[in-house]
Amino acid sequence: MYHTVLFDLDGTLLNTIEDLADAGNRLCAARGWPTHTVDQFRYLVGNGIPKLIERLTPEDRRTPEVLEAAYHDFDADYHDHMFDKTAPYPGMPELLAVLNARGVRLAVFSNKDDALARGVVAHYFDPSLFVQVRGAFADVPKKPAPEGTLALMAQIGADPATTLYVGDSNVDVATAKNAGLPCCGVLWGFRTREELSEAGADYLAADTDALARVILGEDV
């Protein structure tokens, strides 16, 4: 049984891909840049909004001024529309409640801006379920760098021997490995079983019942 679980946010707790894709495509359309399908956005996201903006910006336009302006326009638009289509994955609210009742400490670690991550989590979940929600800070390297994960674990007093990281992409598997944690890859998110397996996920969960069994170490 794991006593502490660190959850990725986008693609793990919440299906945010359509709102991210819509905001990204509005940004691109307004600038005359190529737009992308929702499936393409699954591989554009995962490393934070600044990296998403860089990937959306044509290579010959990636000046600091263009990237900064695009970031601010995306940020404003996404704030206005981030609750349009986003929703928790099926069974996730129930799973969090069960884990909380069983005494498992839950935390969220996202590459979203810290204030944004906190706001999104508070909108869709009971914040009291989590001992901490942490997003990205400008002066801390983003996932998969270990600094943020280790800072979160120190803040909540998590024991690495009984802590599990849960995410949906190779970035999440690398995040866990870089921090010395086992990782459970979830198969309902933005990436594929093959990607998670190749990245070295210790477990794979096809649904929230399977994830509960991994965390609790028993049939539930």
Query: Using an 8 Å Cβ cutoff, are 157 and 176 in contact?
Result: no
CA distance 3 to 102: 9
3-state SS class at 86 = coil
**pLDDT band at 122, cuts 50/70/90?**
very high
State the Cα–Cα distance between residues 192 and 89, nearest whole angstrom: 16
Please say if the pLDDT value at position 62 is more than 80: yes
- Provide the pLDDT for residue 218: 75
Question: In the prediction, which pLDDT does 160 show?
Answer: 97
23: left (phi over 0), alpha (psi -120 to 50) or beta: alpha
Q: Would you give the end-to-end CA distance of the chain in angstroms? A: 12
What pLDDT sits at residue 193? 97
Residue 219 reports pLDDT greater than 90? no
- Looking at the domain 4-15+87-216, which fold is it? Rossmann fold (3.40.50)
* Tens of pLDDT, residues 158-194: 999 999 999 999 999 999 999 999 999 999 999 999 9
Phi first, then psi: give them for residue 96, nearest 5 degrees.
-60, -40
Percent of the chain beyond pLDDT 70? 99
pLDDT of 220 over the 70 cut: no
pTM: 0.93
**3-state DSSP assignment of residue 34:** coil
Asked if the model's pLDDT at residue 103 lies above 60, the reply is yes
Condensed to tens digits (0 to 9), the pLDDT of residues 34-56 reads: 999 999 999 999 888 999 999 99
Angular region, 46: left φ>0, alpha ψ -120 to 50, beta rest: left
Mean pLDDT, the chain, integer: 96
Of 104-108, 126-130, 215-219, least confident by mean pLDDT is 215-219
Does 17-81 carry CATH code 3.40.50?
Answer: no
Residue spans of the domains in the chain: they are 4-15+87-216, 17-81
pLDDT score at 127: 87
pLDDT tier at 75 (50, 70, 90 boundaries)?
Answer: very high
pLDDT tier at 211, thresholds 50, 70, 90:
very high
Same fold, 4-15+87-216 and 17-81: no
